[in-house]
């Protein structure tokens, strides 16, 4: 019988990758990708997702084939936190075992169409796996555009809104949207479909922290479009984001660092809008973000610092952040072991220092000495890396630039305020 044989073969192929022992799993995955990519296996797997499959439209076979394509495309790369780090300038180590080659081959062979079609599957487990497979492939702008053209945004929103879908399926749909919505036309489509309401009602308001995390990240990319940003304000999304930080004294939420990271990222992008900055300040969002700086998770500190930095474009926000101890907190983070945290602390401090009281705090808290000390260390590190081909060269240079910017801002401020 064709169905049992096909299913067994597909499961064996997937298991071949999944069961790699500790230490040699990357090598096994590379063998699998080589067998599928160079050996002509990807067209076979794609065909099994279509109506032309010789075993018929079988849900079990489709689910396993979607898992195989996800595995080949690099499951770890679909992790939104890794994508976010890559966007912020930190190299992403997950994409190193030949995933890109397999992703491109799958797309070239027309694999996106059956993936998107399976978002409509009656079997919600298959639909969820299709959403996850899309998330694994939607890491390049042309692929995101292709998914949008095939109607993927509308189908993912429908999947999130499906009352019969469990948290796992909704989470995969939110994850897929967090990658697809990085394309400008997908953002426009979301606005046309009034998708912000779905992201807020089914995502931010979910009981699952995984859904909240991915929905907040999807929302962050969506509000780079003006219409979606207006919908965020209209639907009281800023209030909900601040509440999700679970950082105010009267909250009954349990803090979750993954959610806090995504929410801080969303607030940092919303803060480019003056009305959002005002709302964040009026709703005690600055206090919540300042409290997040005490988190032990560096990624939360990194995103909270950038959110505060973007809010500090307004003088009232600068003054509020300063009154909340923002200068002291920022200076304290200049000695953080994570360079990304130090870089964002420099950006935040460089915007705060133009407030007179914050400028005084900068001196009194030893900020000048911290900056010069950090500058000397990073300059030495940067020169060392310049003589090697390390991928950290540009990042070290970026950190050095941040410290130089902070010191320059302070000197400019001092020229206007000679008493400092």
Domains of the chain by residue range? 338-420
Cα separation, 106 vs 37, in Å, equals: 9
Query: Is the separation of the CB atoms in 24 and 32 below 8 Å?
Result: no
What helix, strand, coil percent values describe the chain, rounded to 5?
75, 0, 25
Collapse the DSSP code of 293 into the 3-class scheme (helix H, G, I; strand E, B; otherwise coil) and give the result: coil
pTM for the full predicted model:
0.82
**CA-CA distance, 305 to 87, in Å (whole number)?**
16
pLDDT, tens digit only, all 420 positions of the chain: 567 777 777 777 666 655 444 555 555 555 666 556 555 678 888 888 887 776 667 788 889 889 888 887 776 555 555 555 455 555 555 445 556 777 888 888 889 999 999 999 999 999 999 999 999 899 889 999 999 999 999 999 999 999 999 999 999 999 999 999 999 999 999 999 999 999 999 999 999 999 999 999 999 999 999 999 999 999 999 999 999 998 888 888 899 999 999 999 999 999 999 999 999 999 999 999 999 999 999 999 999 999 999 999 989 999 999 889 888 888 888 888 888 898 898 888 888 887 666 666 666 666 666 666 555 655 555 555 555 544 444 444 555 555 555 554 554 444 444 444
Alpha carbon distance, N-terminus to C-terminus of the chain: 84
How far apart are alpha carbons 125 and 116 in whole angstroms? Answer: 14
Rounded Cα distance between 229 and 196, Å, is 9
H or E stretch covering 408:
helix 393-416
Query: Which residues contact residue 201 at a Cβ distance below 8 angstroms, ignoring those fewer than 6 apart?
Result: none
Cα–Cα distance, 22 to 400 (Å, whole number): 38
389 exposed, middle or buried (CB, 10 Å; 0-12, 13-18, 19+)? exposed
């Amino acid at each position: 019988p064709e169905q049992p044989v096909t299913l067994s073969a597909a499961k064996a192929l997937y298991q071949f990758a999944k069961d790699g022992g500790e230490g040699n799993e990357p090598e096994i995955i590379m063998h699998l990708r080589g067998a599928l990519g160079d050996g002509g296996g990807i067209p076979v797997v794609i065909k099994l997702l279509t109506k032309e499959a010789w075993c018929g439209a079988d849900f079990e076979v489709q689910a396993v084939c979607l898992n195989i394509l996800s595995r080949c495309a690099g499951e770890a790369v679909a992790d939104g936190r890794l994508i976010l780090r890559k966007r912020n300038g930190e190299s992403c180590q997950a994409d190193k075992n030949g995933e890109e080659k397999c992703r491109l081959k799958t797309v070239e062979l027309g694999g996106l169409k059956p993936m998107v079609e399976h978002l409509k599957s009656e079997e919600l487990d298959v639909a969820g796996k299709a959403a996850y497979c899309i998330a694994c492939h939607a890491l390049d702008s042309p692929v995101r555009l292709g998914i949008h053209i095939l109607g993927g945004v509308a189908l993912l929103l429908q999947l999130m809104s499906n009352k019969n879908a469990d948290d796992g399926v909704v989470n995969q749909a939110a994850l897929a949207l967090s990658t697809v919505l990085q394309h400008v036309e997908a953002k426009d489509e979301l606005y046309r479909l009034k998708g912000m309401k779905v992201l807020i009602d089914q995502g931010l308001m979910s009981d699952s922290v995984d859904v909240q995390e991915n929905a907040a990240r999807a929302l962050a990319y969506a509000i780079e479009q003006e219409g979606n940003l207006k919908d965020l304000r209209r639907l009281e999304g800023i209030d909900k984001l601040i509440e999700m930080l679970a950082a105010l004294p009267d909250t009954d939420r349990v803090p979750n660092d993954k959610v806090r990271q995504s929410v801080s990222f969303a607030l940092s992008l919303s803060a480019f809008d003056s009305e959002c900055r005002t709302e964040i300040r009026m709703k005690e969002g600055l206090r919540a973000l300042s409290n997040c700086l005490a988190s032990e998770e560096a990624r939360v500190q990194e995103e909270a610092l950038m959110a505060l930095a973007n809010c500090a474009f307004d003088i009232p926000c600068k003054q509020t952040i300063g009154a909340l101890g923002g200068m002291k907190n920022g200076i304290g983070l200049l000695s953080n072991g994570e360079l990304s945290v130090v870089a964002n602390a420099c950006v935040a401090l460089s915007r705060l220092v133009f407030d007179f009281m914050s400028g005084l705090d900068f001196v009194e808290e030893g900020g000048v000495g911290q900056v010069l000390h950090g500058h000397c260390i990073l300059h030495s590190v940067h020169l060392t890396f310049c003589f090697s081909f390390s991928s950290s060269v540009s990042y070290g240079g970026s950190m050095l630039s941040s410290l130089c910017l902070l010191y320059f801002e302070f000197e400019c401020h001092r020229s206007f305020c000679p008493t400092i």
